[in-house]
Amino acid sequence: MEIPIIPGRGLVTNTATNLRLDFLTQQNIKINEISQSKLEFHDIRGNIESYIGSTEIPLGIVGPLLFNDNGTQELVYAPAGTLEGALVASMNRGAKVISKSNGFSAEVKWQKMTRAPMFIFTNEEEASIFKQFVINTFQAIKKVAESHSNHATLIQIENIQQEHIIHTKFTYETGDASGQNMTTTCTWHAMLHLVEAFFKETNIKPVDFVIEGNGACDKKVSRYNMESGRGIHVVAECTLSEEIIQKVLRTTSEKLLQFFYPSKKLAEKDGMIGYNINVANAIAAIFVATGQDLASIHESSVGQLHLSKKENGLHVQLTLPNVVIGTVGGGTSLPRQAQALEIMKCRGSGKVMRFAKLIAGFALGLEISTYAAIVSGEFAKAHEKLGRNKPVSWLLLSELTPNFVQSSLNGFFEDKQIQDIQPKTHALLENGILTNIASKVNKKIIGFLPFQIAYTTKNGQQKIKDVLIKSKPLDDEVMKGLHTIAASIDPKLSDLLKRFKPQLEYHNCHLKEIEIYTYLHKNGFECMPKYFGKHVNLKREIFMLIQEFLPAEKMQLMNAENHPTHWKKPHISSVIKAMTQFHQEVSVKDFTHIEAFQPWNAAELYTKMMQLLIAECATAENRFALKNLLNEIDNLETQANEISIAKTIIHNDCNPRNIAIRKNGTPAIYDWELAVVDFPQRDIVEFLSFVLPENFNKATFYEYLKEHFELYNGATWHEWLQASQYSLKVYIITRLSFYEVSSILIAYDFSKRVLQTALQMLKFLEEDV
């Protein structure tokens, strides 16, 4: 069989690379994605051979982490490269815990790099003479070795005799480079000198010798290196306060210690080298980002975690005895890797000790976060499978063809001939909160997909229309995402979410929006994006809408949830009028999947949410009001039954995240997936909580309530205020508590402001009801 030769071997040039790519194409090997690389040939010539392209690993940012060094405190950050979901989030939680406990400190014990040549002699006597000669001539050997590097310092040679074999462990300090290549060169020249000098002195030559007899355990784990040193030996430590352990990690120091010592004892029995939880994750993530030798991850990830109880909390120490890193040389010179080192202020000469300390600090944070997650139950909850895992043929982007739109997403395109469909990009288009949450649990196509469709009308006119295809996640997927987030906040919260799923507004969210859009389009409701069609395939879990694309530049207001001052009275009034039209025109009996919202049926969940809100997110000025609301959860059913106003279908997510104002002043209301049956006031008070300006007064608030009231007949003003008061309570307890508690992990810019506004609205109502 003829073995082909890949052209241009060893050459990293444009011509050689194109020859290789052509060769692979001829072999029917697809490289179209890999070959699309932004790396420059002149940057990588010393780092790769037979170059064909690159793969990308996404980077996340970890920090800030409070670093105590030489009597100063500094907030530091690290880029982390990974394809493992939740790793960066866990590293960030660890950084938060350490920072809130007055930071970490670190100390470098030593930096060493070894090479271990092997010399074979005829007999033991010759070997013994050689061993003594190495000891006697150390200074001469050192001079030769160091003459071949500007950075290497030979600090010792250890001689190990095994019968007629001598292993010589050359140990160096290597400055800011990791030093594997440097020490290889230095040691090779020192060996040549040594063999020649030994022969001149004794007339004895070794039978043979090699540069490495594997005694250095290069890129391998050994107890010798842990104790004697290879790479940088660094120790990081912090003391976690009991308050932070309980508040952020959801456990106690006693519980952490309860499991720690038995676990460590078993690890020793099983022969584990060192003891740590998942140091390798942090090491690999930072190594990938900063251009380190990835083959050194293995030895660099050896770690010794130690916990001990202190009067003021829990002392946590992590020893990394063999961190093989550099801030110069190797991959650190590539532009992106160099910038990653700059983020850590670790690029270039004189920075390797700082680099080691920061790596140890970020690894310490991950150890704390992961171990606490295991002990608290969060680790298991976050990985719990909710519902059945079944093979599903999910929709592919490649299937979104003219035929697909023509045959499936009918509606507007029913009597038109679609010629082409092309994806669009839009920087201002972002998926909603629920879609982002659901996207954490699988890789199916969900969310907003903007397209441009070219079509022909009946009379032969060629037209183009921008559309937005919206692919809905299943309610189970939303719940899985919420469950994962909740597990990182409090494992009990995740259990309660799972238990009360049928009582929550997320139930049937993938069906409700399609049902509402179809209904509104049929009944001519104009205050929404134009509806062009739908596609539902239960077997393939496809729940898709196609609607008008709303470009922000053609709207008066869009995505204005953080800008209440942009909302003028005409805008606010138009939304109140549009929502009232919706509330009055829809009929509850016309909907299959939209159910009454009765928060008392999930009282335990909302009690837990409010407790977390009060304990961790409340300010001094709103804590008292929130405690009063917590005490009212058990009375919500009674209060609802005392209200004579009829319930209707409500949007239940009626805020400027889901409302745009067109140039002509007409609202476009979208994202109806949380719709439920409740009092119409619920939509209005939510909307007002976002758009009322800071320091609004009672008169302004009541002006809008009155405007809403006057659009109805049959209720008294007192009843209207009573329903508004009840709706505000439900809104704060069930929705704003969710935003605020989620901010422990994912902060929403609007959350605290909107909560404060809602509480002020409630205070005004309590004066009159």
Residue 454's DSSP bridge partners are: 420, 464
Residue 455: left if φ>0, alpha if ψ -120 to 50, beta else—which one?
Answer: beta
Q: Residues, the chain, total?
A: 769
Task: Spell out the residues 6+ positions from residue 719 whose beta carbon is closer than 8 angstroms to its own.
Answer: 643, 644, 645
Residue 307's DSSP bridge partners are: 316
Residue 118's DSSP bridge partners are: 167, 210
Task: Spell out the residues 6+ positions from residue 533 whose beta carbon is closer than 8 angstroms to its own.
Answer: 408, 409, 410, 411, 412, 413, 414, 545, 546
What is d(CA 83, CA 757) in angstroms, rounded to the nearest whole number? 40
Half-sphere exposure of 568 (CA within 13 A, CB side): 5
What is d(CA 112, CA 182) in angstroms, rounded to the nearest whole number? 12
Report the SS3 class of residue 681: helix
Beta-sheet strands, E only, within 163-203: 165-173
Question: Are the C-beta atoms of 311 and 218 separated by less than 8 Å?
Answer: no
* Residue ranges in 27-86 assigned as alpha helix (H): 41-44
> How many secondary structure helices (H) and strands (E) does the chain include?
28, 20
The two three-digit tokens of residue 10, written as one number = 């060893």
Task: Spell out the residues 6+ positions from residue 679 whose beta carbon is closer than 8 angstroms to its own.
Answer: 643, 645, 647, 648, 650, 723, 726, 727
Whose CA is closest to 169, among 186, 187, 182, 185? Answer: 187
Whose CA is closest to 684, among 703, 663, 698, 697? Answer: 703
Question: Are the C-beta atoms of 718 and 589 separated by less than 8 Å?
Answer: no
Q: Which residues are catalytic?
A: 84, 293, 383
Buried b (16+ CB within 10 A) or exposed e, 467-493: bbbbbbbbbbbbbbbbbbbbbbbbbbb
What is d(CA 641, CA 689) in angstroms, rounded to the nearest whole number? 25
Half-sphere exposure of 310 (CA within 13 A, CB side): 14
Whose CA is closest to 158, among 235, 227, 233, 234? Answer: 227
Residue 535's DSSP bridge partners are: 544
Mind spelling out the 3-state secondary structure of 277-315? CCHHHHHHHHHHHHCCCHHHHHHHCCCEEEEEEECCEEE
Whose CA is closest to 501, among 591, 605, 385, 652? Answer: 605
Report the SS3 class of residue 118: strand
What is d(CA 575, CA 684) in angstroms, rounded to the nearest whole number? 9
Task: Spell out the residues 6+ positions from residue 98 whose beta carbon is closer than 8 angstroms to its own.
Answer: 65, 66, 104, 238, 240, 361, 364, 365, 368
Q: State in Å, rounded, how far the first CA of the chain is from the last one.
A: 92
